[in-house]
Amino acid sequence: MPNPKKTIAIVNGTGRQAASVIRAVSAVGYAVRAQVYSTEGLVAEELAELPNVTLFEGELLDNPALIDTIFDGAHIAFINTIHLAGDEIKIGKALASAAKKKNIQHFVYSSMPDHSIHNPKWPALPLWACKFTVENYIRQLGLPATFVYAGIYNNNFTSLPYPLFCMEFKDDGTLEWRAPFHPDIKLPWVDAEHDVGPAVLQIFKEGPTKWNGSRIALAFETLTPLQVCEIFGRELERPCKYVFDQHIEIKVPVPDAYRQQLAGIELLFGIYNAPYYPGSDFEYSSRRKGSNETITGRSSHEPSGKGRPGKLTDDARKLWPGWRSLSEYVSTAFIVEEEANGKTWMIDKTFSS
């Protein structure tokens, strides 16, 4: 029987972050009470078969009964909300309030920054700033909480024509990634499915005594776009070119909120070269090649806070030393995910070496 002191409440259970957490905690004996938007599909079916995992199907918006059910008997929680579920601020606040009422002992919330509070020129990215609003609400409630800030998912890359992370296979057999990130500025990366779960599990093990109130970058590598393309080219054995383009081309229908997010990314990173994680909790710097300019994680408008010295990746790597590099991801998981998406370039003679 699972230890009742190790029961975890989770939402958006089939998402990459939450599913990774469910797999990790279930493997070491935690009981899981996870909300999912549908019990159909490969991921939901896989999770339902894991030991001590109970799935609850339904929407979170304006559904206090389901939210209370998720937290019944739980002592800890991992919460990663999504904009597609509706008003993310309203949902996030409802979850936090319910956790407070249920006396959750450690509330790990997947947050993101609001860049606009660090520099008046920087736009607030709508799908990130709402999470930061909820984070502040959680702090005001006095919940024992830790805030994880996930880096860019390695898993975002696809040869499908989605905006921002399309690794396009050209007719001549080469690869091309086109994005508004400066070629020489390092970005934080995480293999969400492989590494979020074990890192969050360790946060729960170390508990709020160590991590209460902390912001943790779930970033295991910092790589420039040029380095990313070098990795893809090497592992897939075909030339890979990075094209810096301040405009994000949208070739497929996307939700309005995501379209607004992409427009903000064009400004924030394509024009202003803002740090991915602003603020003194994420102290790091990335110097451009051939330049004396340093891009720093601390805003000039913000005094030094409790940021921990060292590399941006230090906390994540200490939490989970078994992290998977982008190189390993490209050479293994990327090919499998492409096949699952119906792509056959890896066996197409047109692209054979």
pLDDT tens-digit map of 225-272: 999 999 999 999 999 999 999 999 999 999 999 999 999 999 999 999
The CATH class of the 4-151+192-218 domain is alpha beta
Report the C-alpha gap between 72 and 56 in whole angstroms. 12
Percent of the chain with pLDDT over 90: 83
Give the HSE-up count for residue 43: Cα atoms under 13 Å, Cβ half-sphere. Answer: 18
CATH code for the structural domain at 155-187+220-304+325-351: 3.90.25.10
Dihedrals phi, psi of 9, to nearest 5 degrees:
-95, 135
Distance of CA 294 to the CA centre of its chain: 25
Element (H, E) at 240: strand 240-244
pLDDT value at residue 90? 98
Averaged confidence pLDDT in the chain: 90
Report the C-alpha gap between 253 and 11 in whole angstroms. 26
Task: Kindly list the domain boundaries of the chain, sorted by start residue.
Answer: 4-151+192-218, 155-187+220-304+325-351
330: left (phi over 0), alpha (psi -120 to 50) or beta: alpha
pLDDT tens-digit map of 217-226: 999 999 999 9
Q: Report the DSSP pairing between strands 152-153 and 167-169.
A: unpaired
Evaluate if residue 302 carries a pLDDT over 50.
no
Judge if 4-151+192-218 and 155-187+220-304+325-351 fold alike in CATH terms.
no
Residue 171: DSSP 8-state: T
The DSSP result for 74-89, as a single string, is -SEEEE---GGGS-HH
- In 3D space, the residue among 92, 87, 74 whose CA is nearest the CA of residue 33 turns out to be 74
SS3 7: strand
Q: Are 152 and 192 in contact (CB under 8 A)?
A: no
Q: Is 14 buried (19+), middle (13-18) or exposed (0-12) by CB count in 10 A? A: buried
Enumerate residues 6+ apart whose C-beta is below 8 A from 120. Answer: none
